[in-house]
Structure 1
Amino acid sequence: MIEKVNPKHPYKIADRIAGAIVDIAYKNCDNPKVAVEVLIGHGVCHVIIESTVNFKYKDIKEAIARIAGNVKKDIVIVPQDKHLSSNQKRNIRCGDNGIFKGVPLTLEQKQLSKIARKIYSKYPYDGKYILDDAKLIICQSNARKNELEKFYPNAIVNPLGDWTGGFNVDTGATNRKLGSDMSDSVTGGGLHGKDLSKADISVNIYAFLKAQVEQRLIELSCAIGDEVVDGKPYSEIVNIARKYIDSIGGFEKFAEWGLF
C-alpha cells in the first residue's frame, strides 16, 4: 500500500519552495549551511530560514512567486546556531543526529509512481493517488471524473466529485509527505529544506540508494559531529548525495517527487 502526491499538492509546493531556497544558497556558496521551514496556504507564505548565507530577499520572493503564484510573503532570516556552525568549520562532519532506513522499492510502489507522473503530465494540478492490493484511488483536481475513468476504468476516481484543489482546500508545510517521498524508507528526519551536511538529507539518500542496489533493508544511525557513517567517511556520503541531487537538477527538482 502506497500514497503518492504530485508537485502541485500544497505540501509539495512548500517543499519545492524550501528546495528552491536551498538551491539559491548553493549558488551563493559552495558549502552553505541552511535549514528552511515553509508554511503556505490561503494567500500567505511564511518562510523561516536559518543559514550561514546572506540571502537577498528579492531572490526568495521571486522563487515563492514562481512556484506558488501571487501570495503574501512573510520571510524571516536568522543566522545558524553558532554551535552548529562551529561543528562544520574544519572537516565535513555529520550535521545532525538521527536514525535512517533504506528499503528496496516494491513493484506496487514503482507502479504508482509511474501512474502519478502519467496523470500529472496531462493534468498538472493538485493530485493524490493511493494503490494497494485491492484498489487504485485517484484524487485529481481540475480533471473530470469521466475522463479519468476512461484511462483507469477500475479505479476509484474523485470520490467527492470534481474539485479545484490547491490552496482552496488545503495548506502546505515542509516535510509533511515523507511517505510519498520515501515510501517504506521513512525515518525521523525530513528530506527537504536543508543542506547536504544534514544527515536528514545525505544519509537518507545514501541509505535509500544502497537499499536499491543491494535489495535489502539498510538501517543506520549517527550522532552530530560523526566523521564516519556506515564505515565510510561522512564526506563520501555527502558526495554521493550531492551527485544524486545534481543528477536530477537540484533541490527544488528533488522536492517535486522525492526519491521515487
Structure 2
Amino acid sequence: MNHNTPNAPLSPLPHTGEARFREAMAHAGPGAMITGLAALSLHRFASAPPPVMIDRVDVLVPRTRRLRSTGHVRVVRTAEPPQPVELDALPVAPVPRALSDAVAALSDPGVVRRLLTEAVSGGHCEPAAVVRELNRARLLTRPHVVDAVDALLAEGRSIAEDRLYAMVREFALPDPLWNVDLRLPGGPHLGGVDAYWPDQSVAVELDTRAPRQDDDALWSEYTRKREHLERLGITVVHITPRKLREAMDQQATVVRTALMAASDRQPAAYVVVLPR
C-alpha cells in the first residue's frame, strides 16, 4: 500500500526527527532536497529507519553549489537534480533517486534487497525507474545490488501479472490463454506471450524490461518477435506495468478494440499454443 496518496495524510514527524531534517535543510539552503535513507523514511518505507532514528541526513544539491558536509548532514551532489516532492513541508527526492542515494551508501545485501523490493511492492514506483537510477549511479556493478535488482524485477513482474488478470476480470474481457508459447506447426518457436486469444489472434505482452546496459539488444528481441507475429496476422498489444497501474481502463479498451477488430482482418496463420 502506498502511504503517500492524498487519501492517507501523513502524521507529523516526531519532534527530534523533524528538527534534524529541518536543520539539514537550513544548512543546505534553497534548491536542496532530502535524499537517501532520510528521504525513504519520509516516504514512509517500513524497511527504512523512522525519522527519529536517522543519525545522518543526506541532502541532494546541484553540483555547482559550494557546500560542505558537516555534523549529521552529508552533501550529495548531482548535475541534474530531480523534481522534489513535498512531504511534511520538506522538499524530498522522489523514491527512485532517494533509493539510489541510499543504496550507494549501503553494503548490507539484506537491507538493499528489502528497500528495493518495498519500492515496488509498496506501490511507490515502477521497477524500471529504480533500475534506471541505479544504472545512472553505476551501482549495477555491485553483486549484492544486482541480486537485489533481480528480486525487484521478479516482484514487479508478479505485480504486473496480477494487474493484468484483474483487468480481464474487472472489465469483463473474454478469458484468454495465460502465459503461453507460440510456435508454427513443425516450425520455429515464435516467442512467449502473457495472454492470447486464439479465436481473435490477439496477444498481450507485458513490457517489464528494465533499462540496463543490454537494453538495446533486449528491445531488438522484443521488436523482432512482435514484427514476426504481426506478419503472421497476430495482433500484439504491448502494455507496460505503469499503464496498467495508472490507466487500467484505457488498456482494457485497447485490448477490447483489438478483439473486436479481429473479424475485419485477414485470418491469421495457424499457430500451435503451448504452456509456458
User: TM-score w.r.t. structure 2 length?
Assistant: 0.24
Bigger radius of gyration, 1 or 2? 2
Greater relative CO, 1 or 2 (CA 8 Å, sep 6+): 1
User: TM-score w.r.t. structure 1 length?
Assistant: 0.25
